[in-house]
Amino acid sequence: MEKMARSQKPLLHRWLDFAERTGNRLPHPVTLFALASAAVLLLSWCLAQAGVSAVHPSTGKTVTVVNLLSPDGVRRVITSLVTNFTGFAPLGTVLVAMLGVAAADGSGLLGVALRAVVLGAPRRLITLVVVFSGILSNAASEAGYVILVPLAGILFLAAGRHPLAGMAAAFAGVSGGYSANLVLGTIDPLLAGITTEAAHIVDPSYSVNPAANYYFMAVSTFLLAAAGTLVTHKVVEPRLGAYSGETPVVEALQPNEKRGLKAAGVALLVTNALLALATLPPGAILRDPKTGGLLHSPFLSGIVAVIFVMFFVPGVAYGIASGRFRKDSDVVKAMEKTMNTMGSYIVLVFFAAQFVAFFSWTNLGLIVAIDGAALLKKIGFTGIPLIIAFVLTSAFLNLFMGSASAKWAILAPVFVPMFMLLGFAPELTQGAYRVGDSVTNIVTPMMSYFALIIAFFQRYKPDAGVGTLIATMLPYTAAFLACWLVLLVAWVMLGIPMGPGAELFVQTR
């Protein structure tokens, strides 16, 4: 009977049921990395015994598998466990950036700023503002999910429109456009650190700066905002139809909140002015002392510190002006509250760092990259088709494993060096991954906020479930994927750098 019931379901629902069942059976990402680390150790012994090797195309030297279960290998594993963790590039960068975000979040600035932007939007532009605000909000951690999505539903209803359409538009911006933004967020240094570690497999001196995808992602922000607006007006709202229900009162900003926003705006202007003085004039303190340029300057290499200051200073200013912060301990407590949520990330990083280190030491990543690149060249599968295939692969894998950093920590050690040997820069590979990883966020039950969004939907549609949310969000996924792929292909064909100092290609022999 159960099999008959399943067979009678629409194909889309059967596929979604399969994705949900499969994803739920996956172990926790921490467990995955622990198992993967153990598998790498065992695999290094097996392949070393088999004499597996490859010839490096650039140096002509033979690369062999290093056995980490040999006496020397075991000693290296034991003595490097701590340094693998503390030296893992994304760890410090993310924690420092999050400290700044924590001050802005704990003061209430992020939530009030989102409300102010959306409440102040003209009615005819409200959809565009909601999607655009959603994209920008991903720089502020989970604020977009928790604040903007339900707020968008209330605003659409107050304007006589279907609240689910408002929440869908906000969710599309927050999660479907996750990587796009006009400012750098915590995801930028996080992924850049993992990409740098992976690039070292081929070139130990290679460094990927946190702004490596900034140009591409900034342009993507406007493209996705337009695409999300069009999908909402032409597909989602007509399908949902009219809504009949109570119209809630939209809470206006309180006087102390307005006062806080003014203080935060002044603080941000002053901070930006000081940053401009430190970067724009010839010989400025944050320019490269040798060349006078910005490409390899203290400004770009210290961009994480800039992110920290840009969130911290306005956040504290808002907290003081609004009355949220009355003494220094209030600031510390607010930051501690937000940083408490980073505990799971720190645990994940410990095991991810071991996996990345072990994989690098064994030379497995380099050998797979060499042989994989040779195979792709042999069958002629390179260039634009390869980039598109990688985007689609990333989008598919995101259906089963939601964490962007966890997936990239697994994929980067293989694909970054492989694509480097084919001539693609790590920055381009990272950008392609971010496209695929973002667009399917809104249609996978594995996304951590998926259940929360369903709960928001149920306020206006009590019987809403996984199928309701998926069916509503699929048009956004299709539109975002199509638009983003076209932009990426055009970007590569035109040879535009992905970000400051981030060219598309690397020199190979």
Does residue 475 contact residue 192 with C-beta atoms inside 8 Å?
A: no
**What is the per-residue burial (b if ≥16 Cβ within 10 Å, else e) of 70-107?**
eeebeebbeebeeebbeebbbbebbbebbbbbbbbbbb
Backbone angles phi, psi at 445, to 5 degrees: -65, -10
Whole-angstrom CA distances from 264 to 57, 78, 286 are 54, 48, 24
Residues 6+ apart with CB under 8 A from 412: 194, 195, 197, 198, 429, 430, 433
For residue 306, the one-letter residue type is V
- Tokens representing residue 306 in the block: 């800039």
How would you write 206-236 as a 3-class SS string? CCCCCCCCHHHHHHHHHHHHHHHHHHHHHHH
Domain segments of the chain: what residues? 24-494
Q: For residue 1, what pLDDT is reported?
A: 44
Q: What is the pLDDT of residue 121?
A: 67
Rounded to whole angstroms, the Cα distance separating 379 from 374 reads 9
Residue tagged 């950036």 (tokens)? 97
pLDDT at 2: 44
Classify 143 in phi/psi space as left (phi over 0), alpha (psi -120 to 50) or beta: alpha
Distance CA 17, CA 2 (A): 13
pLDDT of residue 249: 55
pTM more than 0.85: no
Q: Percent helix, strand, coil in the chain (nearest 5)?
A: 70, 0, 25
Q: What is the pLDDT tens value at each position of the chain, 509 positions in all?
A: 445 445 555 564 565 455 445 544 656 667 877 888 999 999 999 999 999 888 866 567 888 999 999 999 999 999 999 999 988 766 776 688 778 878 888 888 877 876 776 677 677 788 998 999 889 877 655 667 767 787 788 778 877 788 899 999 999 998 888 888 888 877 888 899 899 988 998 888 898 988 899 999 999 999 999 999 999 999 888 888 888 766 555 567 889 999 999 999 999 999 999 999 998 888 889 888 887 777 667 887 777 788 789 889 999 999 999 998 999 999 999 888 878 867 777 887 788 788 878 988 988 877 876 777 677 777 777 789 989 999 998 888 787 666 777 778 878 888 898 899 888 999 999 999 999 989 998 887 667 677 678 877 888 888 777 778 888 898 999 999 999 999 999 999 999 999 988 889 987 54
Q: Position of tokens 């501690």?
A: 336
